[in-house]
Amino acid sequence: MLDINLFREDRGGNPDLVRESQRRRFKDVSLVDEVMKWDAEWRSVRYDLDCASKERNSLNNEMKQIKIKGRNPETNIDPDGTKEAAIKAAKAELATGEGAKKERLVVIEKERDAALKQIGNLLHHTVPVEKDEEHNRVERMFPPSGELPKLPGKGLTHVDLLHMIGGVEYARGVSTAGSRGYFLKGPGVMLNFALIQYALNFLTERGYTAVQPPYFMEKEQMAKCAQLDDFDEELYKVSGDGDKYLIATSEQPLCTYHVDEWVDERELPRKFAGVSTNFRKEAGSHGRDQLGIFRVHQFDKIEQFCVTSPDDNLSYEMLETMVKNAEEFYQSIGLSYQVISIVSGAMNDSAAKKYDIEAWFPGASDGKGEYRELVSASNCTDFQARKLETRCGSKKMGDTNKRYVHMLNATLCAVTRVICCILETFQTEEGITVPEVLRAFVGSDFIPFVRDPPKLKVKKSKK
């Protein structure tokens, strides 16, 4: 969430900056005024409580002096106890008032923070301002000429091709796991693990530390790094000894890796290669990509996750580097793609700037081909770090200037999707040519067809 001081003009804040960002997001601008209203009351009540605390300390000091001087008859300043009684009465009155104010402060803070959490991160000035994703801006293409490969081989889609090489069992997967269920097998498994290993090697060569995180998270921790909408549309809940949620991306547990910690600025940037199996309900994708493994409930993914200093535009430089890494990864495989800037109206709340990389799927749209998303890369600046209390610097007594690290995430390889694109791009009349960089991991340079195309009607689950 945003720094509350952004809403306080007397603390150097600029509420108009937040309003403008909300307007560019096509979001509710009145939330800014709501936050300011509740915050003004919060500060007033907090001031009263601070004053009451100072007064109570003063009364305690008076009482202490009465006790000390009362030990000697010659210095006793309260021989009849009237001063002590008056102090006790004043303290009791203070306590009554403080109790009511503390209760009110809790209510105010809850209302203020509820409004604050609905306000998105401050958008970077380079984000294209449009409401719908159809206006996403193309930044560059590969190959630079924009010339796309013609539909090779038999012109089939990944749905057919994965079946034909004996790499998947669709119907058995649906029967076992329900909609979007699948069994990878044989060459499908080999391609899956080849991409995982190649992607990990690719990032470790660039200074990333491989991390395999927990596959589920406590609800309290998940709430710090996932939007409320995600709980209903994306996350699977695991019931048992306390509610837990299966991760939808390794970004989520990697966000909490430094929760409530101070990160020494001399150790930044920190670059992690998250490797995990991910679980998504895809509730908002009903009817889309029902066939094949492009959009599924369970898949493996290698994620770039970086933590940087908040200073000197370093996080935006890191975002460009992370996108460049992904581009070089797909160039090395031999896929065509375009890099796009996501419009303001389609940005999630956490991101200040976001890129997607869309690869060319030559078999899509009945052989006409289309670009489809493989990578999402975001700079969330300090938006997530504030919720997580991940501070930048070293812990010092009396440090009132809170500095938070910046957090960034970018897909490197969502494995099932990349398999789909490889199959369509490298198909021949007899099978699939394995991209050169994957051959050592697959153990072959060619995967032949071993069966006919499947019937397109996938067996429905009983549910």
Is the CB of residue 228 less than 8 Å from the CB of residue 327? no
Beta bridge partners of 376: 356
Does the annotation flag 441 for ligand binding? Answer: no
| Residue whose C-alpha is closest to residue 156's, from 373, 362, 336, 415 | 362
Spatial separation of the C-alpha atoms in residues 450 and 432, rounded to whole Å:
11
The DSSP result for 13-63, as a single string, is --HHHHHHHHHHHT--THHHHHHHHHHHHHHHHHHHHHHHHHHHHHHHHHH
Is 281 annotated as contributing to ligand binding? yes
Confirm whether residue 20 is marked as ligand binding.
no
- Report how far apart, in Å, the C-alpha atoms of 98 and of each of 51, 52, 91, 104, 461 are: 10, 7, 10, 10, 60
388 known ligand binder: no
Who contacts 2 (Cβ-Cβ below 8 Å, separation ≥6)? 18, 116, 119, 121, 122, 383, 386
249 is in an annotated binding site: yes
Residue 22's CB: how many other CB atoms inside 10 A? Answer: 20
Establish how many alpha carbons lie within 13 A of residue 253's alpha carbon, considering only the half-sphere containing its beta carbon: 22
* Secondary element (H or E) of residue 159: helix 158-164
- Exposed, middle or buried: residue 370 (CB in 10 Å: 0-12, 13-18, 19+)? exposed
Phi/psi at 131 (nearest 5 deg)?
-85, -35
- List of E strands, 81-145: 137-142
409 among the known binding-site residues? yes
Residue 282, annotated ligand binder? yes
Annotated binding residue at 375? yes
Q: Is 376 annotated as a binding residue?
A: yes
Residue 374 among known ligand-binding residues: yes
Q: Is 303 annotated as a binding residue?
A: yes
The closest of 267, 460, 426 to 336, measured between CA atoms, is: 426
Residues 183, 168: Cα–Cα separation, whole Å: 6
Q: With beta carbons less than 8 A apart as the criterion, state whether 24 and 119 touch.
A: no
d(CA 227, CA 248): 12
Q: Is 298 annotated as a binding residue?
A: yes
141 vs 131: CA distance, rounded Å = 23
Cβ-based burial of 441 (10 A; exposed 0-12, middle 13-18, buried ≥19): middle
Residues contributing to the annotated binding site for ATP: 280-282, 296-299, 373-376
Residues contributing to the annotated binding site for L-serine: 249, 280, 303, 409
Residues contributing to the annotated binding site: 249, 280-282, 296-299, 303, 373-376, 409
